[in-house]
Amino acid sequence: MQALSPQGQQAIDNIAQRHGFSTNAVLSMLTSVMNGNGRMAQFNHPEFSGSGQWMSGGMTMVSDMFNNYLKSRVNNLCTELAQLIANQPNLVNTGNVQSQNQNNPLQNNRPAVSLFVSPATSSDWWPSDLRWPNSTGAQNGVRYAHFAQARRLVIDVNGKVTVYDTLDHQIGGFSQQQSYGGSLSFSSQYGVMDVSKLPVVSVHINGVMQTANPPLTTPTPTAPSLTSSPSQSSHSTTETDIFAMIDKLADLRNRGILTEEEFTSKKMELLARL
């Protein structure tokens, strides 16, 4: 979890004292509520009787199922933590969490605090609007940061930072070829995928964003052959060339440059020449 600011640490200490839990237990619950986007939490801590669940609106489950007093304390703690993190900009999806300051007199009587250390003081190498990643790693001159909620994967190779759209992939892990700057792969519900198959959102070099999705500026390799006359094609295009062009078209489709319909149409034109 991102380091707490002095004000954030004081707020957590105050919450711990007010609800009768240790600071460590409150920090554990804070992480759980953040992971639940401020609306739910799956927690596991001895002070909460082990594992349990909380959902905004009053649904609370603890292992000591008949301990209604503990349930009430956990619910009050989670509710206050959800209200606290709802005021932290970009910490959670703003469409999923709404501040309830007007309904909470305790919150109204306390000024808003900056819960975490400002990103400006950190050494983050990814675009600042992505905030904090779910996982990071580095190997053989390549480093990555995965942002699950934003559906973004950021790769840094020798100062060239590329932001990818992870689409609907539920990424479970990463692997890399054992060579300097080797290609990066990830596992998802669709199996092992190469990062290069993901759409490029932006490219940053020395902190300066380049033209979004550079492949868009590359001329489509099949354009000259598709517009040439049949007589020219029969002499200049071999069977090997045609299959190579189809492979390039497939790559452009996977990058989102060509639609499925455009890919199919151009592929049929090329196959007709065989």
Whether residue 1 lies inside any domain: the answer is: no
Band (pLDDT 50/70/90 cuts) for residue 132 is: confident
Whether 149 maps to a domain, the answer reads yes
> Hey, which of 117-121, 208-212, 229-233 has the most confident mean pLDDT?
208-212
How many Cα atoms are found within 13 Å in the side-chain-facing hemisphere of 168? 2
Q: Are residues 154 and 85 in the same domain?
A: no
pLDDT at residue 65 is higher than 50: yes
- Based on the domain organization, do 162 and 93 belong to the same domain? no
Q: Looking at 214, 238, 256, which one is the last position of a domain?
A: 214
pTM for this prediction = 0.41
Greatest alpha-carbon pair distance for the chain in Å reads: 86
**What's the confidence (pLDDT) of residue 26?**
92
Residue 50 lies in a domain: yes
| pLDDT for the residue 226 | 44
Evaluate whether residue 242 is within a structural domain: yes
Confidence of residue 68 (pLDDT cuts 50, 70, 90): very high
Q: What is the pLDDT of residue 148?
A: 85
Q: Which domain holds residue 265?
A: 223-271
Same domain? 189 vs 135: yes
**14 and 91 housed in the same domain:** yes
Q: Which residue has the higher pLDDT, 134 or 46?
A: 46
Quick check: is 117 in a domain? Answer: no
52 domain residue, yes or no: yes
Do 232 and 210 fall into the same domain?
Answer: no
Residue 229, exposed/middle/buried by CB under 10 A (0-12, 13-18, 19+)?
A: exposed
Do 162 and 155 contact (CB within 8 A), yes or no? yes
Are 86 and 169 within one domain? no
> How far is it, in rounded angstroms, from Cα 81 to Cα 32?
10
199 and 254 belong to one structural domain: no
- Per-residue pLDDT of 84-110, as tens digits, reads 888 775 454 433 333 333 333 334 444
Q: 186, 214, 242: which is the final residue of a domain?
A: 214
The whole-number pLDDT of residue 123 equals 61
On average, the pLDDT of the chain sits at 75
| Pair (207, 229) in one structural domain | no
Do residues 10 and 88 share a domain?
yes
The one-letter amino acid code at 178 reads Q
Q: Does residue 114 form part of some domain? A: no
| Token pair listed for 168 | 């609907």
Q: What share of the chain is helix, strand, coil (3-state, %, to 5)?
A: 40, 25, 40
Q: Is residue 151 part of a domain?
A: yes
Determine the pLDDT at residue 211.
57
Domain boundary among 76, 108, 140: 108
Is residue 17 domain-shared with residue 79, that is, in the same domain? yes
What does each C-alpha distance from 232 to 223, 229, 236, 237 come to in angstroms? 14, 5, 6, 8
How far is Cα 143 from Cα 141, in angstroms, rounded to an integer?
7
Same domain, 246 and 205: no
When divided into structural domains, the chain yields a total of 3
Q: How confident is the model at residue 20 (pLDDT cuts 50, 70, 90)?
A: very high
Strand spans (E) along the chain = 40-45, 50-55, 59-62, 135-139, 142-147, 152-157, 160-165, 173-176, 184-188, 191-194, 200-205, 208-209
pLDDT in tens, 147-181: 888 889 999 887 889 999 999 888 877 776 654 54
Q: Residue 93 has which token pair? A: 């999806």
58 shares its domain with 37 = yes
**What's the rounded Cα separation, in Å, for the pair 157 and 147?**
18
